[in-house]
Amino acid sequence: MKQYFLLWCLVFGQLCSSISYGAAEGNHSDLNIRCGQMIDGYSGEPLHDQLISIRQGLITNVELYNKATSEDDEILNLSAYTCLPGLIDTHTHITERADETSDLSIHYTRSMTEVREISAENALTTLHAGFTTVRNLGAYIAWSARDLRDRINAGEIVGPRIQTSGFYLTIPGGGGDLVIPGIPENTIPDRVRQGVSRGPDQFRENARKAVKGGADVLKILASGAVLAYGGIPGSPEMTPEEILAVVEVAHEAGIKVTAHAHGAQSIKDAILAGVDSIEHASLADEEAIQLAVKHQVAFSMDVYNGDYINAVAAIQGWPEEFLRKNIETTDAQREVFSTAFSAGVPIIYGTDSAVYPHGDNAKQFVIMVRQGMTPMDAIQAATSVAAKFIGWKDKVGAIKVGLYADIIAVKENPLNDVSALQDVSVVIKEGQIIKLPLSIEE
Ligand SMILES: [Zn+2]
């Protein structure tokens, strides 16, 4: 019976495993897994032939597999696989589609029903790619990711754990404002501009609205964006006082705040104002890097997506301005990545997905390794280090007793070739099997 459900799932590809397993087979959050190799997310070396016990969705024991003592238990045999903690992507836009960047005005008229369909599809794709936790850093339809988060948490649909920032906190015409050249501002619906603010008081007020609305994290646009009209990626948009106003609201509420910043000045302003992480950091200078080291502010650098933009933007008819700004930032960002990593800036895995398609999140690992990380460093950036900087180290990011049993497995050894993470065979979230090849018997 189990196999029929699984086949149905693989063929129809929807909401399958956990629902069919959950509903038809009872609670599957109790599970034992045997892993040929195990990367726990925080140790420097892998472990071999480990048995992971899961009860009520939590990891309750990890030990060397022993045939004699384990013989009575049903075991999911992944002895030919490498197990890792479920991956964390600290920068997604999970309610939006990559191929819509050519015409952002689509968000002016999009219905909530359609947003929900897109979101559910992206959520499943992301989870199947092995990303069991994502942080959504802004959506033009402001609370679409909160809606998705809440539906996943309620068990209505299947997707990763989500932290969401609600709307973009940005200046008028700034990197998170959805004004488009040639479209009169008075025709743009207010709902896509909820976080647009000027001056510390307005930023404070809107930051409070975001917290009150249920944001898990706040996202500010400290300097110009690549995929926005007007503005120069490096030039500061928010003033230090405006950044500080948002940081104070976030920290009062006990949540993190992250700054979108390409330029050196706005990176420094954001770090000195007390943000927890910087998105992009493309044009950081030596001083900004040293400041990040000193304050232990993480950089989340989307070092893969420049290649994707170069490959598809012209074909898909993206605005010329976006292409130009992409070229200005891609190589520069990769150099900064290498320098920042070797200087000791904490690096957290963030893809800016929706710039490129959901499900391709793992393509960045290869570039991170090419730019100087070991595969283990890159894996930790997407597991324990990411978990620490999103404030969830007691929940996810490691295969460790007491944490959620979010576990993935890959056939090839990612420590030999990190591109193995682009082909995740097994996905388990909170002890529930989400994805499993037919060749593995439970
Ligand atoms: Zn982004």
Residue 314 pairs in a beta bridge with none
Contact call for residues 413 and 423 (beta carbons, < 8 A): no
- 123 shares its domain with 76: no
- 76 shares its domain with 91: no
Query: What residue type is 339 in one-letter code?
Result: T
382 CA distance to ligand 1 middle (Å): 17
137 CA distance to ligand 1 middle (Å): 6
91 CA distance to ligand 1 middle (Å): 6
- 61 shares its domain with 159: no
144 CA distance to ligand 1 middle (Å): 15
Residue 442 belongs to some domain of the structure: no
For residues 412 and 434, give the distance between their C-alpha atoms in angstroms, rounded to a whole number: 20
Residue 101 belongs to some domain of the structure: yes
- 98 shares its domain with 58: no
Q: Summarize pLDDT for 353-409 with one digit per residue, the tens.
A: 888 999 999 999 999 999 999 999 999 999 999 999 999 999 999 999 999 999 999
- 57 shares its domain with 98: no
- 416 shares its domain with 281: no
Distance of CA 276 to the CA centre of its chain: 16
Residue 403 belongs to some domain of the structure: yes
26 CA distance to ligand 1 middle (Å): 39
Domain span at 283: 87-389
Residue 222 belongs to some domain of the structure: yes
Q: Which of 422, 244, 226, 253 is nearest to 332 (CA)?
A: 226
Say yes or no to pLDDT of 314 above 90: no
- 208 shares its domain with 339: yes
379 CA distance to ligand 1 middle (Å): 21
21 CA distance to ligand 1 middle (Å): 35
307 CA distance to ligand 1 middle (Å): 16
- 304 shares its domain with 344: yes
- 165 shares its domain with 259: yes
* Residue with more model confidence, 129 or 439: 129
Instruction: Residue 51: give its domain's CATH number.
Output: 2.30.40.10
- 43 shares its domain with 175: no
Neighbours of ion ligand 1 (CB under 5 A): 352
Residue 181 belongs to some domain of the structure: yes
- For 10, half-sphere exposure in the C-beta direction (CA atoms, 13 angstrom radius) is 12
Q: How many domains does the chain have?
A: 2
Q: Summarize pLDDT for 20-63 with one digit per residue, the tens.
A: 333 334 455 799 999 999 999 999 999 999 999 999 999 999 99
Q: Which of 292, 232, 287 is nearest to 259 (CA)?
A: 292
- 338 shares its domain with 410: no
Q: Going by C-beta distance under 8 Å and a sequence separation of 6 or more, which residues neighbour residue 365?
A: 375, 378, 379, 382, 414, 418, 419, 421, 422
352 CA distance to ligand 1 middle (Å): 4
67 CA distance to ligand 1 middle (Å): 48
Reported pTM: 0.92
Tokens read off for 17: 């495993």
Residue 141 belongs to some domain of the structure: yes
- 242 shares its domain with 282: yes
302 CA distance to ligand 1 middle (Å): 9
Instruction: Residue 213: give its domain's CATH number.
Output: 3.20.20.140
Q: Which of 15-19, 189-193, 328-332, 402-406 has the highest mean pLDDT?
A: 402-406
